[in-house]
């Protein structure tokens, strides 16, 4: 992937929510890139900051949330400082979006054909018949059977999986450079999930678009992503090629996530689990945010917050991989 051009660059992103007591930091110093034709998976527990990162990238933070620091660049052009109107044009034409519930993305009062053709004609100077033909072609591309007939149907006439395919077609309407998919398979059953995953992967390759896939499901990441960023308490705990991170996780939190996934052929009475829960934004501990739950914690973890450290093909925010750290032979009590 290194020889491909970055489509999205996020540099030291910080998202804050002001309140009476100060500022709650929801995303803290997050940096990553997504290259042409690449799927970057962003995974973590609820509250890790993954969806907040996606919302910040596309300029859809709910007030009073705000980008308090860092930069977001699309094809080398900074977009985090654009006006709302300019950002709306970027979202429509250069960034496509696929959300968890397709019904929130589709207007129940309009046929899917009208929604597709209006989106196409908003960004392209084409006739009604040309827009309709493009819409039919898109529905066929995402696997909608008999698209010539179904184009005139309403969202409620489609199953959940088919509605999600329509949403993906909407996202692809104007050949965006970037697609942000936030939990696109959560509301679907397992067999339909696999179809949508395969579809996203194929469309990414065919169109050369970059995809940021946000999910809590490591199985989805393993099937779809080229690289994965594991988030915890608003920061990236580990980032690297998906096969390396899954097979040889470097951060104790990632190891815990991997240990909680059942493996076919392994007869275990009980899966391992990570003790405790994600800290609230108001209660993020000093040092490494994971230190109260970490089985490998030592003194430095409780007082200094680690940045990402190169470890083989991955990077992990963990003092275990810092040569300057005196390795402890046993975890502190």
Residue 239 has pLDDT above 80, yes or no: yes
How far is residue 169's CA from residue 175's CA, in Å, rounded to a whole number?
Answer: 10
Percent of the chain whose pLDDT exceeds 70:
93
Q: pTM for the complete prediction?
A: 0.90
Q: What is the pLDDT of residue 32?
A: 98
Residue 330 has pLDDT above 60, yes or no: no
Three-state DSSP class for residue 305 = coil
Residue 96 has pLDDT above 80, yes or no: yes
Residue 323 has pLDDT above 90, yes or no: no
Domain ranges of the chain: 6-94+176-321
How far is residue 114's CA from residue 131's CA, in Å, rounded to a whole number?
Answer: 10
Residues 174 and 209: beta-carbon distance below 8 Å? no
pLDDT band at 265 (very low <50, low <70, confident <90, very high): low
List the single range of 72-76, 148-152, 220-224 with lowest mean pLDDT. Answer: 220-224
Place of tokens 């900074």: 78
| CATH fold of the domain at 6-94+176-321 | Rossmann fold (3.40.50)
Q: What is the pLDDT of residue 264?
A: 61
Please name the residues in contact with 270: beta carbons below 8 A apart, sequence gap of 6 or more.
none
Q: What angle do CA 259, 234, 187 make, to 5 degrees?
A: 65
| Bigger pLDDT: 24 vs 104 | 24
- Identify which of 1-5, 220-224, 261-265 has the greatest average pLDDT: 220-224
Percent of the chain whose pLDDT exceeds 90:
69
Q: Which residues pair with 23 in a beta bridge?
A: 18
Residues 156 and 145: beta-carbon distance below 8 Å? no
Q: What angle do CA 266, 293, 10 make, to 5 degrees?
A: 90
- First vs last Cα of the chain: how many Å apart? 43
Residue 47 has pLDDT above 60, yes or no: yes
| Bigger pLDDT: 196 vs 325 | 196
Q: What is the pLDDT of residue 332?
A: 43
What is the average pLDDT value for the chain, to the nearest integer? 90
Q: Which two tokens stand for residue 123?
A: 């960004």
Residue 14 has pLDDT above 50, yes or no: yes
List the single range of 126-140, 199-213, 281-295, 311-325 with lowest mean pLDDT. Answer: 199-213
Q: Which two tokens stand for residue 137?
A: 């072609």
Residue 333 has pLDDT above 50, yes or no: no
Asked if the peptide bond before residue 64 counts as cis, ω within 30 degrees of 0, the response is: yes
């Amino acid at each position: 992937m290194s020889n491909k051009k970055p489509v999205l660059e996020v540099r030291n992103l910080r998202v804050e929510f002001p309140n009476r007591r100060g500022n709650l930091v929801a995303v803290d110093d997050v940096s990553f890139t997504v290259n042409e034709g690449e799927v970057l998976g962003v995974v973590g527990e609820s509250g890790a900051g993954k969806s907040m990162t996606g919302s910040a990238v596309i300029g859809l933070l709910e007030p009073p949330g705000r980008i308090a620091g860092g930069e977001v660049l699309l094809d080398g052009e900074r977009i985090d400082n654009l006006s709302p109107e300019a950002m709306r044009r970027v979202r429509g034409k250069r960034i496509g979006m696929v959300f968890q519930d397709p019904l929130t993305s589709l207007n129940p009062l309009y046929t899917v054909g009208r929604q597709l053709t209006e989106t196409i004609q908003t960004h392209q100077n084409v006739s009604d018949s040309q827009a309709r033909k493009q819409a039919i072609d898109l529905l066929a591309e995402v696997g909608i059977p008999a698209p010539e007939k179904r184009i005139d149907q309403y969202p409620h006439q489609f199953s959940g999986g088919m509605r999600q395919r329509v949403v993906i077609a909407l996202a692809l309407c104007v050949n965006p450079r970037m697609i942000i998919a936030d939990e696109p398979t959560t509301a679907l059953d397992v067999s339909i999930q696999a179809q949508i995953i395969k579809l996203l992967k194929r469309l990414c390759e065919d169109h050369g678009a970059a995809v940021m896939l946000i999910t809590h499901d490591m199985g989805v990441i393993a099937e779809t992503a080229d690289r994965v960023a594991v988030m915890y308490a608003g920061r990236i705990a580990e980032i690297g090629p998906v096969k390396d991170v899954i097979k040889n996780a470097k951060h104790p939190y990632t190891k815990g996530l991997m240990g909680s996934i059942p493996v076919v052929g392994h007869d275990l009475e009980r899966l391992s689990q990570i003790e405790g829960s994600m800290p609230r934004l108001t209660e993020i501990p000093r040092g490494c945010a994971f230190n109260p739950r970490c089985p490998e914690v030592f003194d430095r973890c409780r007082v200094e917050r680690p940045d990402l450290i190169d470890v083989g093909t991955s990077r992990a925010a963990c003092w275990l991989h810092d040569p300057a750290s005196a390795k402890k032979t046993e975890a502190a009590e």
